[in-house]
Amino acid sequence: MKGHVPYWRTIDIVIASVIAVAFGVIFYAWNFLWSATEGAFSFFPPAQTVLYGVWLMPAVLAGLIIRKPGASLYTETVAAIISALLGAKWGAMVIPQGLVQGLGAELAFALLLYRSWKLPAALLAGALTGLSAALFDFFAWNSAYDLWDYRIPYAVITVVSTTIVAGAGSWALVRALAPTGVLDRFAAGRDRALV
């Protein structure tokens, strides 16, 4: 039926939640890596955002697997909540940040009418979730920094990182998982033409 919004099955909720919890724990560990590498990027602090893409993977990954409205938003937000509950160094502020990041990927899939799941769609989702993250950080975390020396390079590097890591990385992960059979309950597992 045209115009029908696909409903979420129980398996969709379970898998989105599993992805979110797994990445919430990864986020918690990634926070330590971020802190540990600050000195390595002292030559040009905005360059540290090459590490940013991992924080946005659940939004793109869940969108590519579940292929239903809300998957990116739900998964990224729940991952952020888990990270906050585990004691993220940025506190509860990561929750609205996760919500905004999830909206970025959601917007990409919505622009494609939830019909395209190939590499260009994943790259667009990675780029838009990165852009939403950069805009959030622009005001929430980086407002005291210089526009051209810090905030603009930070935003550009963030978008590049998320396009590659969250976008291409999630697409590659789905392609690697599909032949194993673990995604057979999803269209992503049955779609052998994800190029």
User: Is there a contact between 166 and 56 (Cβ–Cβ < 8 Å)?
Assistant: yes
Residue 126 contacts residue 61 (beta carbons within 8 Å): no
Average pLDDT over residues 149-178: 96
Backbone Cα Rg of the chain:
16
Instruction: Provide the percentage of residues in the chain whose pLDDT is more than 70.
Output: 95
Give pLDDT tens digits for 164-189.
999 999 999 999 999 888 898 898 88
**What is the model's pLDDT at position 5?**
60
- The answer, as to whether pTM is greater than 0.75, is yes
pLDDT at residue number 1: 45
- pLDDT per residue over 1-31, tens digit each? 455 667 899 999 999 999 999 999 999 999 9
Q: Which domains does the chain have, with CATH numbers?
A: 10-190 (1.10.1760)
Tell me what pLDDT residue 17 has: 97
Among 157, 183, 162, 182, smallest CA distance to 46 is for 157
